[in-house]
Amino acid sequence: MTVEETNLAAVATWAALYNTDPDRMIDECYAVDPEVVAPEELRITDSATFHAMEKAGREAMPDRHSEVLSTAAVGDRVFVEGVMTGTNPVNGTPLRVHWMSVLTFADGLIVKDRTYMDWSVFKDFNRTAEYRAADAGLDLTATAGPTPATDRPTTTGATMTTAEPLPSTDSISAFYDIASQVLCELWDESFHAGYWESEADDSSNKVAADRMTDEMIGLLAPVDGAEILDVGCGIGTPAFRLAGAARARVRGISINEAQVVEANRRAGERGLADRVSFDHGDALALPYADASYDAAWAFESLIHMDRLAALREISRVLKPGARLVVADLLQTGPLDEADQELVRDGLQRMSASPMLTEAEYRALVAEAGFELEEFRDVSRHTAKMATRMVESTDRRYDEMVARFGEEAIELMDLIRSPAAQLPEMGYLLAALRKPA
Ligand code: SAH
């Protein structure tokens, strides 16, 4: 048999096993730790993650079925065109999506798999998003084919070179079941960093947290009558302040239902319910029409998300020319192996995605199709946050354990972990614009 014939036979097995036994497909058709890439979607370089991703895919759409429509073998490559069908488990509607794979073989096994398809059809149950490299700067240049290297953001942060699983919405929501309550006690009713003018500024946590909201409002520059979306709204504290700054309508959304109930209760209490309201939902599948908002902010909420997918989804609901303001963690310097591990562990424990460097952030924004109007590294202004958090935790540790139990311990230990004290853990504010 020629190499091409051998590879085509392997593709027939590959296609059959995909539908009957994907785990066997991975073990029998792929080399150990193959490179599996779906451009801009995922990049897997180890078999364990590959198995986990296939499992997630099956769970997301149990009746998925792929059919090969055509194959062409050239040298060590086979080009496969196919169609996948199944039922969207969220709303029961049938799905049908075409795909195309370029498989590179060595000794009859797939060493490289590049698969192209329109992933947006899965967006309302997109488990594979959890396996995306959170990095817009995925270094795919080596296998990117005709895409010029300069069009691709480069990968600069060591944390971004592996496709770490991103937090699931369940784990984020569970984290906030307890965090909302403990943070209200230990920090403020805003669940975001404080902003201190200088080292000498001794403002309280609450004053500093409100000042950060004011910085965000300044960047957003809301106009009266605007429809504004607050992505990851907590219990609404920043939204109320925003609504106080302009006669705008603010709609918040959070993945944690208890927060939404509390935020709506507070809106009523403040007499703001007619123009400030909150929905329970996922920022990665916003329950809003295309181009329905004049402005939006994601106030320390992207840290929990696949940032690229979230930015694209927010862009979808924004009107052309609308502004999106973002507050997020920022990695301000290189981390050695040990610190990287500390940060990775800390972020995972708070259901957060890896933090990005400025270069990575700029690349992310561009990749998501936004223009970056302003990027501010405000790490100097948030530096007091870490020690303030530890101080208030130490002061009320026993009381929190007594009131909220074991789970409060986990959160407070996280607040007191050395990762939270690393100076490289900085903070950014950015103003983005959806092109007009
Ligand atoms: N912006 C608020 C809360 C910040 S905490 C404030 O500054 O006070 C992060 C918020 O993001 C939480 O409300 C959390 O529930 C929300 N969040 C995280 N992931 C989300 C997702 N996928 N969809 C919607 N909200 C999400």
pLDDT per residue as tens digits for the range 370-429: 999 999 999 999 999 999 999 999 999 999 999 998 889 989 999 998 888 999 999 999
Model pLDDT, residue 125? 56
Is any ligand 1 atom within 6 A of the Cβ of residue 238? yes
Sign of CA dihedral 364, 366, 372, 375: positive
Rounded to the nearest 10 degrees, how much is the dihedral formed by the CA atoms of 145, 146, 148, 153?
Answer: -50
Choose the residue to mutate in 213, 251, 304 for probing ligand 1, maximizing ligand atoms within 8 Å of C-beta: 304
Quick: pLDDT tens for 166-223. 788 888 888 898 899 999 999 999 999 999 999 999 999 999 999 999 999 999 999 9
Contact between 318 and 434 under an 8 Å Cβ cutoff? The reply is yes
- From the CA of 254, how far away is ligand 1's center (Å)? 5
The protein residue with its alpha carbon nearest to ligand 1, atom 11, reads 232
Is any ligand 1 atom within 6 A of the Cβ of residue 172? yes
The DSSP 8-state label assigned to residue 198 in this structure reads: S
Is any ligand 1 atom within 6 A of the Cβ of residue 180? no
Model pLDDT, residue 377? 98
DSSP-based three-state secondary structure for 96: strand
Average pLDDT for 260-278: 97
Between CA 315 and CA 323 the distance in angstroms is 9
Given pLDDT bands bounded at 50, 70 and 90, which one contains residue 53?
confident
- From the CA of 387, how far away is ligand 1's center (Å)? 23
Model pLDDT, residue 398? 94
pLDDT at 22 over 90: yes
The protein residue with its alpha carbon nearest to ligand 1, atom 14, reads 232
Choose the residue to mutate in 132, 172, 325, 353 for probing ligand 1, maximizing ligand atoms within 8 Å of C-beta: 172
Model pLDDT, residue 161? 32
Model pLDDT, residue 48? 84
Average pLDDT value for the chain: 88
Contact between 172 and 255 under an 8 Å Cβ cutoff? The reply is yes
* 396 token code pair: 């009320």
Average pLDDT for 222-233: 97
pLDDT at 292 over 60: yes
Is any ligand 1 atom within 6 A of the Cβ of residue 14? no
- From the CA of 418, how far away is ligand 1's center (Å)? 24
Residues contacting residue 336 through CB under 8 Å, at least 6 positions apart: none
Residues contacting residue 272 through CB under 8 Å, at least 6 positions apart: 240, 243
Sign of CA dihedral 357, 361, 367, 373: negative
Is any ligand 1 atom within 6 A of the Cβ of residue 190? yes
Max CA-CA distance within the chain? 78
Model pLDDT, residue 164? 56
Choose the residue to mutate in 124, 255, 264, 353 for probing ligand 1, maximizing ligand atoms within 8 Å of C-beta: 255
Query: Which string of b and e fits 46-55 if b means at least 16 CB within 10 Å?
Result: ebebbeebbe
Task: State the residue for tokens 């066997």.
Answer: 24
The DSSP 8-state label assigned to residue 1 in this structure reads: -
Between CA 46 and CA 35 the distance in angstroms is 7
pLDDT at 135 over 70: no
Is any ligand 1 atom within 6 A of the Cβ of residue 384? no
Sign of CA dihedral 205, 415, 166, 329: positive
- DSSP strand E in 220-307: where? 227-231, 249-254, 276-280, 293-299
The DSSP 8-state label assigned to residue 357 in this structure reads: B
- Give the strand pairing for 77-87 and 94-106: antiparallel
pLDDT at 160 over 60: no
- From the CA of 145, how far away is ligand 1's center (Å)? 38
Given pLDDT bands bounded at 50, 70 and 90, which one contains residue 52?
confident
The protein residue with its alpha carbon nearest to ligand 1, atom 9, reads 301
The phi and psi torsions of 163 (rounded to 5 degrees) equal -85, 85
pTM: 0.67
pLDDT at 31 over 60: yes
Alpha helix positions (H), 249-300 = 257-269
Between CA 243 and CA 222 the distance in angstroms is 9
Residues contacting residue 143 through CB under 8 Å, at least 6 positions apart: 35, 37, 112, 114
**Closest approach atom of ligand 1 to CA 235:** 8
Between CA 158 and CA 338 the distance in angstroms is 12
User: Torsion-angle region of residue 195: left (phi > 0), alpha (psi -120 to 50) or beta?
Assistant: beta
The protein residue with its alpha carbon nearest to ligand 1, atom 17, reads 232
Is any ligand 1 atom within 6 A of the Cβ of residue 43? no
Average pLDDT for 8-21: 94
**Closest approach atom of ligand 1 to CA 283:** 23
Between CA 1 and CA 392 the distance in angstroms is 72
- DSSP element (H, E) containing 83: strand 77-87
Between CA 334 and CA 345 the distance in angstroms is 17
Question: Which comes out higher in pLDDT, residue 125 or 191?
Answer: 191
- Give the strand pairing for 276-280 and 249-254: parallel
Question: Which comes out higher in pLDDT, residue 67 or 155?
Answer: 67
Model pLDDT, residue 204? 96
**Closest approach atom of ligand 1 to CA 298:** 1
> 9-18, 56-65, 205-214, 240-249: which has the minimum mean pLDDT?
56-65
Is any ligand 1 atom within 6 A of the Cβ of residue 299? yes
The protein residue with its alpha carbon nearest to ligand 1, atom 10, reads 232
Task: State the residue for tokens 């020629």.
Answer: 2
User: What counts of helices (H) and strands (E) characterise the chain?
Assistant: 13, 13
Task: State the residue for tokens 């590049």.
Answer: 114
Is any ligand 1 atom within 6 A of the Cβ of residue 286? no
* 435 token code pair: 């092109």
pLDDT at 159 over 80: no
Share of the chain above pLDDT 70, in %: 90
Is any ligand 1 atom within 6 A of the Cβ of residue 253? yes
Distance (Å) of CA 133 to CA 77, 160, 331: 25, 7, 17
Between CA 263 and CA 249 the distance in angstroms is 15
Given pLDDT bands bounded at 50, 70 and 90, which one contains residue 263?
very high
Is any ligand 1 atom within 6 A of the Cβ of residue 237? yes
Is any ligand 1 atom within 6 A of the Cβ of residue 283? yes
The DSSP 8-state label assigned to residue 203 in this structure reads: -
pLDDT at 150 over 90: no
Given pLDDT bands bounded at 50, 70 and 90, which one contains residue 165?
low
